Amino acid sequence: MTISEKSAYLKGLMDGLKLNTESDEGKMIAAIVDLLGDVTKRVTDIEETTIAISDELDEIEEDLDAIEDYILDDEDDYDFGDDDDELDWDDEDELDEEDPEEGFEFGDEDSTIYEVECACGEIIDFDEETLEKGSIVCPNCGETLEFSLEDEE
């Protein structure tokens, strides 16, 4: 028997006993039954809300598990070995085929990467080719930043 059913049963008992609701005892019992009905409605609402929240938390947990699996799968692709300074790919060809647009390739390892800070605070990285062009547009604020190739002594 649920709490709603028990509350309804008590109200039915009170009605079936044909209590005099004008007497002090009758008033008291009627007030208690009404209070139990209100409490029952609140408890039922709380139970429904709790179930809905629990379902949402289960979905969030599943999403987080999927994210964790994705991140851990990416880490499994690396062989950290005994050398802290070197990072080797387990299967470099397989990684390149998965998502060719993933990450940013800087070209050959001998190229120099420059960094400039825009007035808006955005830090922008660029290579020698961009430096030779003489300017770059800030992706954050759209301001054009100009460079000079004159040698400084």
The per-residue pLDDT for 67 is 93
pLDDT category of residue 125 using cuts at 50, 70 and 90: confident
Asked whether 126 and 112 are in contact (CB, 8 A), the reply is no
For residue 96, is pLDDT > 60?
no
For residue 146, is pLDDT > 80?
yes
Task: Please tell me the total count of domains within the chain.
Answer: 2
Average pLDDT over residues 3-7: 88
The per-residue pLDDT for 42 is 94
Question: Same domain, yes or no, for 10 and 63?
Answer: yes
Question: Same domain, yes or no, for 11 and 58?
Answer: yes
pTM: 0.40
Question: Same domain, yes or no, for 50 and 114?
Answer: no
Average pLDDT over residues 53-74: 92
For residue 77, is pLDDT > 50?
yes
Quote the domain boundaries for residue 56.
Answer: 3-76
The per-residue pLDDT for 94 is 47
Question: Same domain, yes or no, for 72 and 127?
Answer: no
Instruction: Please report where in the chains the tokens 């429904």 appear, as a residue.
Output: 48
- Which of 91, 63, 98, 65 lies closest to 76, judged by CA? 91
For residue 39, is pLDDT > 80?
yes
Q: Tell me if 92 is assigned to some domain.
A: no
